[in-house]
Amino acid sequence: MSIDQPAWWTSAVVYQVYPRSFADSNGDGMGDLGGVLGKLDYLAELGVDVLWLSPIYESPQHDNGYDISNYQEIDPVFGTLEEFDTLLAGVHERGMKLVMDLVVNHTSNRHPWFIESASSRENPKRDWYWWRDAREGFAPGERGAEPANWGSAFSGPAWTLDPTSGQYYLHLFAPEQPDLNWENREVRGAVYSMMNWWLDRGVDGFRMDVVNFLSKNPALPDGTVPAGQLWGDGSPHFLSGPRIHEFLSEMALAVFDGRDADLITVGEMPGVTIEDAKLFTDPARREVDMVFQFEHVSLDQGPGGKWDYRGLDLLDLKTSWNRWQKGLAETGWNSLYLNNHDQPRLVSRFGDDAGFRYESATLWAALLHLHRGTPYIYQGEELGMTNVPFTSVDDFQDLESVNWFREATTELGVTESAALAALRIMSRDNARTPVQWSDAPHAGFTSGTPWLAVNPNYTTVNADADRASEKSVYRFYQQLIALRHDNEVVRLGRFEMQQEDHPTLYAFTRTLGAQVIRVLGNVSGNELVLPDLQETGGSPGLVLGNYDAGSPDRLRPWEVRILESN
């Protein structure tokens, strides 16, 4: 993308739909395509440009669809291909685009490819997955016999023994999610033709699940075992691995080349560095349009990782976002997000969901959307939905949460109450309870029994109540989206952080020619006296804020102001 000809997605805002929790049209307790169709006007009114659908393909639903058993069918719990076509047409009629989730680091273990591959050592698809003998000197099945010591992202080892052939297969996630072997040319070809099939059907691009994991070091060496953990960290051997750039360029050539539609490709890339992100998103290299990186959502975690929650030090976030803004200022593009189906709710994690729910939800929204990059809204975020008061481990369904709880309390010496406290703040299920549409039973999500219980605060936190309120989170998001659509400076302006060392003030400017936008946010529940009024440019015009006009020299709890001074 050059500054003279910015890509269309620099002005776009993406909305993520997690279909099973969005809206249920047939009363089976599970959201579905009909449910999404019924809410298209709500989404169009919000103003978003792109819908990203989490996986709706045929799947045993072990990881809620991120374990695909048929890439070219819709899972019956969500609907049919005909319903999909109707939905796609409805999205296009409203001037929006539809992006599919592409999960090709792994398949389901029920995918015919894996069933064949597992059937014998001689099967032609044997090499489509990573099969290895037990470690030398160990009998298959013995503790320590795994071919490498890597842990899986969902607890336990990253290897499972298949008794049929006596070999182990690799799974960076659950045993039900075996990793495809991208070294194999036929695997890559099969994935590219599936992608072409969806593009020919009319979809507008892909969000690519853990796409920087595709290339592994084929030697699969052991990793270091972090303190307090049971398994080794294999990530140095598969994060942005040796052939990843080659694979993505090849994919671009095989799938996107020669298509004249305005497509979008987003690479979900845990652990990606700025240097690598630049390579992945340099338009001249034609790999992906933007990265979806994780640094900022890891800052509130201690050395023990995700479940070692410490709370956020704003200075860490300022440093991280500043580095990414600067790092990709000339070349490359980033996604801007604080929520998705894998993250707890932002207003509970980074704001104050009790005393200042509206103010802190809108403050974070404004800070995020005014950065350079493409903003993502996760369903319910635009309503200020909160974390859930889970009371027992039995309330959780997410396999990552449930597996970790079991491992932590049986093998890592964590008490049940400490493990539950960690799940309450960090579990992915916080994001996965049904969208709260109204104060009707089950928040208007379903006429049946929801697959995961609705957050009990739905009687007050819901779309109907929010949109009727003076203080509407939805309306604030609407205004943020419109700001990006209408202002080149929001899309492309130069980013400059101000007051870098201030512990609670998040302040920055965006500049394009003579146009300057200034954002001032008080990331705290206390009043904040602005440090240097000169620096805020005198009395510039308020474009958008989450309070009535106040004193020019102080910000109220969780107040954010977007000012224009040209």
Residue 380 or 444 with smaller CB distance to ligand GLC: 380
Site mask for ligand GLC (CB under 6 A), range 428-467, x = bound:
----------------------------------------
Give yes or no for a contact between 549 and 530, defined as CB atoms under 8 angstroms apart: no
Residue 382, phi then psi, degrees to nearest 5:
-75, 0
Stretch 210-229 residues interacting with ligand GLC (CB under 6 A):
210
The whole-angstrom separation of Cα 426 and Cα 423 is 5
Q: In 3-state terms, what secondary structure has residue 345? A: coil
Give the shortest CB-241-to-ligand GLC separation in angstroms.
16
Alpha helices in 345-471 (DSSP H): 346-349, 357-369, 399-410, 416-426, 429-432, 463-468
Residue 209 or 395 with smaller CB distance to ligand GLC: 209
Q: Which of 15, 128, 130, 173 binds ligand GLC (CB under 6 A)?
A: 173
Q: Which of 66, 71, 182, 206 binds ligand GLC (CB under 6 A)?
A: 66
Residue 29 or 178 with smaller CB distance to ligand GLC: 178
The whole-angstrom separation of Cα 107 and Cα 242 is 22
Q: In 3-state terms, what secondary structure has residue 83? A: helix
Site for ligand GLC contains 238 (CB under 6 A): no
Give yes or no for a contact between 307 and 422, defined as CB atoms under 8 angstroms apart: yes
Residue 158 or 461 with smaller CB distance to ligand GLC: 158
Site mask for ligand GLC (CB under 6 A), range 97-136, x = bound:
------x---------------------------------
Give the shortest CB-342-to-ligand GLC separation in angstroms.
5
Residues whose CB is less than 8 angstroms from the CB of residue 529 and which lie 6 or more positions away in sequence, other chains included: 553, 554
How far are the Cα atoms of 160, 167, 168 from residue 171, in angstroms, in the given order?
8, 13, 10
Would you call 553 a catalytic residue per the annotation? no
The whole-angstrom separation of Cα 41 and Cα 21 is 18
Stretch 46-65 residues interacting with ligand GLC (CB under 6 A):
63
Site for ligand GLC contains 381 (CB under 6 A): no
Would you call 382 a catalytic residue per the annotation? no
The whole-angstrom separation of Cα 131 and Cα 120 is 11
Q: Which of 32, 83, 209, 287 binds ligand GLC (CB under 6 A)?
A: 209
| Of the candidates 396, 452, 449, 442, the residue with the CA atom closest to the CA atom of residue 419 | 396
Site mask for ligand GLC (CB under 6 A), range 313-352, x = bound:
----------------------------xx----------
Largest CA distance in the chain: 76
Give yes or no for a contact between 331 and 282, defined as CB atoms under 8 angstroms apart: yes
- Which residue among the candidates 101, 146, 209, 295 is catalytic per the annotation? 209
Give yes or no for a contact between 191 and 255, defined as CB atoms under 8 angstroms apart: no
The whole-angstrom separation of Cα 554 and Cα 316 is 23
Residue nearest to ligand GLC (CB): 66
Site for ligand GLC contains 169 (CB under 6 A): no
Residue 171 or 491 with smaller CB distance to ligand GLC: 171
- Which residue among the candidates 268, 287, 382, 407 is catalytic per the annotation? 268
Burial (CB count within 10 angstroms: exposed 0-12, middle 13-18, buried 19+), residue 463: buried
Residue 182 or 495 with smaller CB distance to ligand GLC: 182
Interface residues with ligand GLC (CB under 6 A) are 63, 66, 103, 173, 209-210, 341-342
Catalytically active residues are: 209, 268
